[in-house]
Structure 1
Amino acid sequence: MKDLEFEQKRSLSRLEAADQLSALADALRHGNNVELELGPGRLSLRIPDEVQIEIEVEVGDGQMELEVELKWATG
């Protein structure tokens, strides 16, 4: 069972998506506390110095999907 799960789907311009990814990259680069703006609220995460990353690309049904997933231990 998951302790917490949050998912958000929305349409953004390419520039807005780039801004969100840049903000996340800057937070990862400069410290271990990451603040993500999620619509009207914020999500604060503590991320350790080492993470696992998975990058997945799927093509089909007239769409392309790029998924970037970061994982780390919480203990």
Structure 2
Amino acid sequence: MKDLEFEQKRSLTRLEAADQLAALADALRHGGRAELQLGPGKLSVHIPDELLSEVEVEVGDDQIELEIELKWSTARSDEAKA
């Protein structure tokens, strides 16, 4: 069972999408605790140094879907080594 799940679907301009990705990239670059603006609210998460990533592209008759998924453990690093 998931402790928390958040999903947001909305229309964006190309520039809004770029701003959203740039903010995410900045949070990833600096690591530690990051605040991401998600619509009217903010999500605060701890981003570790090591992540798992998955990129998926689906091309259909009338659209292209690009999914970028990032995963990481929520266990503390000293607990993960034990």
**1-structure distance, mates of 2:50, 2:33:** 13
For residues 10-58 of structure 1, the C-alpha deviation after alignment (integer angstroms, 9 at most, x for no partner) is 0000011001100110111013222111111100010110000100000
2-side partners of 1:29 and 1:70: how far apart? 14
Runs of 4+ in 1 over 4 A off after TM superposition: none
Return the letter of the residue paired with 1:4. Answer: L
Structure 1 length-normalised TM: 0.94
Give the distance between the partners of 1:3 and 1:31, measured in 2 at CA. 22
Structure-1 separation of matches of 2:31 and 2:73: 17
| Count of residues in Structure 1 that have an aligned counterpart in Structure 2 | 75
Q: Which has the larger radius of gyration?
A: 2
Tell me the TM-score normalized by structure 2.
Answer: 0.86
For structure 1, the residue ranges without an aligned partner over 5 or more in a row are: none
Compute the RMSD of aligned alpha carbons.
0.9
Task: Report the residue type matching 2:69 in the other structure.
Answer: E
Identical positions, percent: 76
Return the structure number with greater helix share: 2
Q: Which residue of 1 is the match for residue 8 of structure 2?
A: 8
List runs of 5+ in structure 2 lacking aligned partners: 76-82
